[in-house]
Structure 1
Amino acid sequence: MSRIVIIGGHGSIARLLTQQLVARGDSVVSVFRNPDHREEIESLGAEAFVCDVETASAADLAPAMTGADGVVFAAGAGPNSGAARKRTVDFEGSVKAAAAAEQAGVKRFVQVSAIGVDDGPAPDADEVWTAYVEAKRDADDALRRTDLDWTILRPGGLTDDEPTEMITLGEHTERSSIPRADVAAVIAAVLTFPETAGHSWDLISGETPIPAAIAAAVSAG
């Protein structure tokens, strides 16, 4: 059994991940900002830790990570937020979470990013989308410079379709979509594969079972 901390614990992928981790016997600490969500989070079997990653410091987040085996950063400002909050949540929140993990002595860190962010925003992208892409890109770059055992997953367009557990995973893939439940399943799986540390992968639906896709991506280097 592992103890996993999820930052952004009330998000759709995070809640699916919580259910999957609890079902396999792991202990989950869910970090979220709205205390009104405590009952819902606890009903999923997670330990609730109310903390707003946007305004908190790394020192505020570190107690949630004490004794943890891994941290998942799945927080985001959300589709209806402005450009400024993309920076304060998606980028600064990630940086603070990584620093908190280092303070707490947790090496394993999995980050949920987005496909194509390394290419930067399109020239005709609006202000909010540009801020989102730049925040995710910069968060990934900052994480790569840490001493953590990081894995960065960059899913394509997210859907609420039923999971297939069949994916395509690689350093670069075509632009496509994937159910949120499959993203959660991949996060849960890479947490059990230490060999995935140091890799950044695009993630879309495909024709390969999740464990085989991960093994092939690791072997590809």
Structure 2
Amino acid sequence: MTRIAVVGGNGQIARLLHPMLLGAGHQPVALVRSAEQAAALEATGVETRRLDIESEDAAGFAAAFEGCEAVVFAAGGGPDGNIERKRTVDLEGSLKSIEGATGAGIRRFVQISAIGVDEPLGDDVEPVWRAYVEAKRDADAALRASALDWTILRPGRLTDDPGTGRVQLGADLPRGDVPRADVAEVVAAVLESPSSIGRQWVLVEGDSPVAEAVAAAAG
């Protein structure tokens, strides 16, 4: 059994990911902010540890990762219009997770980012969206520059539609939608795929079963 730390462990994608990891014989370790979140997840067989992404430092992240073999960064500041949280959660949360994983001796790291964040931003871009894109862009750059065994997934517009189990994965794809459930399934799949290490992929809905899409993109 592999323990997999999930930062943002109560998020929408994370809650879909946990049962997939359990079904594959792993133990998800959800890092959550409140006792209420922890109790709900523990009732489903998920191990939880308390972590406030914004207030904790990298040493605290390393302590929360103790005993884990991989980290999934699935946190996000959310669509709350709060520019500051794009920095403290989406960027600094990722940076502290990277440093914490390194400090804990963990090499495997999967990060959920967003499509198109390397594209230039026009002068008329709304400030909150600019902050979000820049946070994701800089977090991805920091992970690529690290010594970790990383995979970066950049999903298109997330939907709550039922997962189809079929996706497109590639270094550069047209914008599109993708169900959160399918993003979770791809995260679970790349954790099982050593050939996905060092890869950054756009992820949108498609026609290929997840396992085949991961194998083809990695090939």
Regarding TM over 0.5, the answer is yes
Amino acid at match of 1:210: V
Q: Deviation above 4 Å: which 4+ runs of structure 1?
A: none
- What does residue 133 of structure 1 align with? 133
Instruction: Indicate if the aligned counterparts of 1:32 and 1:50 stay in contact, CA closer than 8 A.
Output: yes
Cα deviation 1:131-163 (Å, max 9, x = unaligned)? 000000000001111000000000001111111
- What does residue 102 of structure 2 align with? 102
Q: Could you say if the C-alpha distance between residues 33 and 60 of structure 1 is closer, same or farther in structure 2, counting changes exceeding 3 Å?
A: same
- What does residue 66 of structure 2 align with? 66
List runs of 5+ in structure 1 lacking aligned partners: none
RMSD: 1.0
Equivalence map 1:73-112=2 (5 Å): 73-112=73-112
The separation in 2 between residues aligned to 1:124 and 1:44, in whole angstroms, is 45
Give how far 1:44 is off: 2.5
Equivalence map 1:199-210=2 (5 Å): 199-210=199-210
Cα deviation 1:82-107 (Å, max 9, x = unaligned)? 11110111000000001000000000
- What does residue 179 of structure 1 align with? 179
Give how far 1:23 is off: 1.9
The separation in 2 between residues aligned to 1:53 and 1:178, in whole angstroms, is 26
For 1:117, what is the secondary structure of its paired residue?
A: coil
Give how far 1:81 is off: 4.1
- What does residue 146 of structure 2 align with? 146
- What does residue 124 of structure 1 align with? 124
Amino acid at match of 1:178: V
Instruction: Indicate if the aligned counterparts of 2:153 and 2:203 stay in contact, CA closer than 8 A.
Output: yes
Equivalence map 1:8-27=2 (5 Å): 8-27=8-27
Instruction: Indicate if the aligned counterparts of 2:51 and 2:64 stay in contact, CA closer than 8 A.
Output: no
Amino acid at match of 1:207: D
Instruction: Indicate if the aligned counterparts of 1:121 and 1:129 stay in contact, CA closer than 8 A.
Output: no
Instruction: Indicate if the aligned counterparts of 1:29 and 1:64 stay in contact, CA closer than 8 A.
Output: no
- What does residue 3 of structure 1 align with? 3
For 1:87, what is the secondary structure of its paired residue?
A: helix
Equivalence map 1:16-55=2 (5 Å): 16-55=16-55
- What does residue 169 of structure 1 align with? 169
Give how far 1:41 is off: 1.4
Give how far 1:28 is off: 1.1
Instruction: Indicate if the aligned counterparts of 1:120 and 1:133 stay in contact, CA closer than 8 A.
Output: no
Give how far 1:50 is off: 1.1
The separation in 2 between residues aligned to 1:122 and 1:4, in whole angstroms, is 38
TM-score by length of 1: 0.96
Paired-residue identity, %: 50
List runs of 5+ in structure 2 lacking aligned partners: none
The separation in 1 between residues aligned to 2:173 and 2:201, in whole angstroms, is 9
TM-score by length of 2: 0.97
